[in-house]
Amino acid sequence: MTAMLNRGNNELIQSTLAALDLQPDDLYLDAGFGGGGALMLAARTVRTGHMYGIDFSPDVVVAAHRRMRSLVADGRLDLMTADLSDLPLRDGLVNKVSTMNTIYFWPKPETAMASLHRVIASGGRLAIGFAGPSKMTTYGKVTARGFSLYEPDAVASLMAEAGFESVSTVALSGRRTAGEYVTSGIRRV
């Protein structure tokens, strides 16, 4: 299942990470890492910094520990089970954060956004990759229950209200990414 997430979301993952402009010494968090594709891709760049991955599912975290054991053993990656709305990280710990295809499941989006804002250092960047309603509704019954769908301007507003500036949205147009977006912003200094 997690390998399928990585394949199906590869273009969105790449676009979301590109919005972060990762550097070798970054302190990077993947919030809701699912298949771990973003962490594995980020590890190619983040060589002297540190990476954190949180996911709500204990099973996903266990699978990621197996799949990325060398990154964990080398001290480059910490993985944990956590709720995005209550991140177990200290204030201002990381300077780059991504989350892909998670916003649909945030019961209280303002609380989740505030939690992300809290752990990002001043001047740090957040990038959210997601599919808009026009794409999500094509999945029929799969997204009919339990998913909150967002237009790009609503995601941008959530970010701005949480204290991010220079918020912008890029509409993706790849073979698999038509109808998907990356919204990013910088935590105010």
Q: Looking at the chain, how many residues does it have?
A: 189
Per-residue pLDDT 10s for the chain (189 aa) are 455 555 668 899 999 999 999 999 999 999 999 999 999 999 999 999 999 999 999 999 999 999 999 999 999 999 999 999 999 999 999 999 999 999 999 999 999 999 999 999 999 999 999 999 999 988 888 877 888 999 999 999 999 999 999 999 999 998 888 999 999 999 987
pLDDT at residue 1, as a whole number: 47
pLDDT at residue 145, as a whole number: 81
| H helix count then E strand count, the chain | 8, 7
pLDDT at residue 173, as a whole number: 93
pLDDT at residue 7, as a whole number: 61
pLDDT at residue 135, as a whole number: 92
Pairwise CA distance, residues 48 & 41, whole Å: 15
Pairwise CA distance, residues 181 & 172, whole Å: 6
| Phi, psi angle pair for 9, to nearest 5° | -110, 10
What's the distance, CA 152 to chain centroid?
Answer: 15
- Is the pTM for the entire model greater than 0.85? yes
Q: Are 115 and 84 in contact (CB under 8 A)?
A: yes
pLDDT at residue 58, as a whole number: 97
- Burial group, residue 189, by CB count within 10 angstroms (0-12, 13-18, 19+): exposed
pLDDT at residue 111, as a whole number: 97
First to last CA, the chain: 40
- Burial group, residue 145, by CB count within 10 angstroms (0-12, 13-18, 19+): exposed
pLDDT at residue 141, as a whole number: 80
